[in-house]
Homo-oligomer: A and B are copies of this chain.
Amino acid sequence: MVAERGRRSGAGAAQKRSRPPAKSGAPDADNAPTAEMPAVVATTATTPDPEVRARSIPEAAVARLAVYLRVLSAMAEQGATTVSSEELSTAAGVNSAKLRKDLSYLGSYGTRGVGYEVEVLVGHIERTLGLTRQHKVAVAGIGNLGHALANYGGFPGRGFPVEALFDIDPDLVGVPVGGLPVSHLDDIPRVCTERQISIGVIATPPTAAQSVCDRLVAGGVQCILNFAPVVLQVPEHVEVRKVDLAVELQILSFHVARRADDAELAASAVNGKPGSAKARKGKAVAGNGAVIPS
């Protein structure tokens, strides 16, 4: 079944809206975990529990936290010590309400009437994202893309050291790339286990992706970042994120096409239908770069 019962969204208050026809055939499914209390902390028993933070943060908010973190780090480097939600949100390309809501998921660390302390916020976000531990990365498939990834040296910022490279090409095995020798795909399970790799990056051709994925899983990898254009099959305890260039381009293509259609329509928008005159509204916030997609 498609279970799902995951995160209860932020704010408590299970406030349903007036629901017209109470027909409902068989809604059932997840039993709401008595979510009644006002979200914040208290959630778990008596402890303000400094450790419970992470729980129940909407997936989308997590992605934005990473962005806030980057912006905050940049601000810190420039000597800023405090920021208001307005400043930070603008720099991150979201609106201030969303930003405050996102930050509220990790507790109340701002000062009313003032703003947030940069250092403090950075610390809390890092902790929430689990950046206090190191996550060793392995890259499989040392082609053009894999090469690029391997050469990143330690991945974005630090905290994600690349500690293993794999490829199937015999001419490549043993050769150091970015200072690290390439191992054979067959050794993925062993090497990953030995080096305690927790994140595997798949940059192989699509045909090899699933098999590589299986081996990564066998090697104890917990998360996979997949650049190959295939839908991976993984056991449920493994988290997969996919970055698909073709999909990205096609989404952009869709928007170009839509826009072109609108232009056409605009031409014939002279007649009746007052409502249709305005045609569709523009998209939303410019730079808000919708998180990545899928």
Contact = CB atoms under 8 A, between A and B. Distances in A.
A267 interface: no
Interface of chain A: mostly helix, strand, loop or mixed? loop
Most B-side CB within 10 Å, residue of A93, A198, A233, A287:
A287
Contacts of A26: 95, 285
Interface residues of A, number: 126
Interface stretch (A115-123, A164-172, A186-194, A249-257): A249-257
Contacts of A20: 36-38
A249 B255 CA distance: 28
Given A25-B285, A55-B261, A294-B293, A252 B233 contact: no
A7 interface: yes
Nearest to A146: B148
Given A6-B281, A151-B144, A243 B248 contact: yes
Contacts of A281: 3, 5-7, 29-30
A77 interface: no
Contacts of A195: none
A135 B286 contact: no
A252 B148 contact: no
A253 B292 contact: no
Contacts of A285: 2, 4, 25-27
B236 A283 contact: yes
A286 B62 contact: no
A36 B17 CA distance: 9
Nearest to A143: B148
Interface in A97-145: 128-131, 133, 135, 137, 143-145
A256 B198 contact: yes
Interface of A: 1-9, 17-18, 20-21, 24-27, 29-30, 33-38, 44-45, 51-52, 54-55, 57, 59-60, 62-67, 69-71, 90-93, 95, 128-131, 133, 135, 137, 143-145, 147-148, 151-152, 155-157, 159-160, 198-199, 222-223, 225-226, 229, 231-261, 265, 273, 275-276, 278-294
Closest 9 CB pairs of A and B: A130-B257, A156-B246, A6-B280, A144-B148, A242-B289, A93-B231, A27-B284, A223-B252, A4-B284
Given A18-B36, A34-B275, A57-B254, 15 more contacts: A3-B286, A5-B281, A6-B279, A7-B281, A29-B281, A62-B251, A63-B247, A63-B293, A92-B231, A128-B257, A148-B148, A199-B253, A232-B289, A239-B252, A243-B243
14 contacts: A2-B284, A3-B286, A6-B280, A25-B285, A51-B261, A54-B261, A144-B148, A222-B256, A223-B255, A234-B289, A237-B282, A240-B286, A240-B292, A243-B248
